[in-house]
Amino acid sequence: MVDGLVLARSLFHHSFNYRSAIAFGHGRVIIDEETRRKAFQAIADKVMPGRWEDARRPNDMESKATLICAVKIESASAKIRTGEPIDDDEDHKLDVWAGVIPIQERLLSPVVDPVSKREIAAPEYLETFRNHMNRLK
């Protein structure tokens, strides 16, 4: 996730402020139908809390077309870069602008699907989620 463009006085020292994570482990395909249903629900409610109860559940064809895996994480690492440009000392004398251009990700108001047949009020959980996510930034 990119949080900012870091512009140094020299092109060599340009960078990004970012957050990154990677996980390693062994996965296994989930075959048991009850475990698969619970995984579908967990994913839906992780992405948008409350959505599982609101939307149509996967039908047999959709479920069969979806591979669900469980991964036992054996190791993980994260890396974050924050802060200002790191120029060489001699470059501090240059008359070149240097600094950070912050990048902010935020959720905007929901936009109704134009093919909706009738007007349906947006569920309250959409605004709750949007407000929560925007406060985190």
Name the 3-class secondary structure at 43: helix
Residue 76's CB is within 10 A of a number of other CB atoms, namely 10
- pLDDT greater than 70 at residue 3: yes
- pLDDT greater than 90 at residue 121: no
Sheet architecture: strand order including 69-81:
69-81, 15-29, 2-7, 99-102
Query: For the chain, how far is it from start to end, CA to CA, in angstroms?
Result: 12
Structure confidence at residue 137 (pLDDT)? 62
Pick the more confident residue, 137 or 86.
86
pTM: 0.69
pLDDT for 81-109, tens place per residue?
A: 999 999 999 999 999 999 999 998 888 88
Q: How far is CA 61 from the centre of its chain?
A: 28
